[in-house]
Amino acid sequence: MTIKIKTIGIIAKDTSEAVINTVKQLADFINKKKCTLIYDKSTEGLFSDANYVSRETLAKQSDLAIVVGGDGTFLSAVRSLADHNTPVLGINLGRLGFLVDISPNDMLQHLEQIMQGEYVDECRFLLQAQVERDGHIISRADAFNDVVVHIRDVARMIEFETYINGQFVNYQRSDGLVISTPTGSTAYALSSGGPLLHATLDAMVIVPICPHTLTNRPLVINANSKVEVVIGESKQSTAQITFDGQTTFDVKPGDKIIIQKKKNNIHLIHPASYDYYEILRAKLHWSEQL
């Protein structure tokens, strides 16, 4: 899609010196472009005369949201922006930066091009999950990277059954299970032995975490599938469910966790020179010669 940028929202993790300097540069540039600038309450106090608004208001009013920080900040922002179809751009002040792919050193050059309509618009999906107990929904949340069912006590495994579209897949004992989007295939799923999925694939991957039986392998399925994980009745099944590594709920034996593709997608805005494989090479140190 082509976006007409009149209002820009700024989201940041904190008010560290690096964040303040980056946001000030962005603000000076945006003001010169005669665009309206609003700030998420997470940056409150950054400027004395700034317009600070709630995240929901920012999502509704912004033609473009700019996230300043690392992948964790970006994940949190995406989950709150997706329902409002707000395009989002990431400025990388974190460490790894699979999601926030613009350096502060050349962000103004890229932003200039983006405001002229020169950019890559990438549509990606999120997951939504809910936990059912005795027929009642006790918790629900969204995830951009992954939904992880995992052990709560380090020395124990959990037992669970997995179903896809109502069909029984398997029963397993393991440290847990990662249900990941293509975006999240470079995160926990990768460290658990899962495959890399191109970010635009309409698929999700299910990756066991340290399974007791080594024949339990990662499984790639259609993104429109419904995944159900039923926690076993064993007393050893002390588990939690975590969304993007940031939101956690306890689950009990007999609980059913239902994971599906979220209806609303998110639009990531990249520079015109964006190259997914270049990011993989840089972040995973491919093609390096000793």
Residues forming the active site? 71
Residue 87 CB contacts under 8 Å (≥ 6 apart), including other chains = 1, 3, 63, 64, 65, 121, 267, 268, 269
User: Which DSSP string corresponds to 27-73?
Assistant: HHHHHHTT-EEEEEGGGTTSSTT--EE-HHHHHHH-SEEEEEE-HHH
Contact assessment for residue 128 and residue 257, using Cβ atoms and an 8 Å cutoff: no
Dihedral angle sign, alpha carbons of residues 9, 268, 69, 144:
positive
Nearest CA to 272 out of 86, 88, 111 is that of: 111
The string over 247-259, giving b where at least 16 C-beta atoms fall within 10 Å of a residue's C-beta and e elsewhere, is eebebebebbbbb
Bridge partners (DSSP) of residue 128 are 142, 260
What whole-number distance in Å separates Cα of residue 213 and Cα of residue 255?
A: 23
Please give the backbone phi and psi of residue 282, each rounded to the nearest 5 degrees, phi first: -70, -45
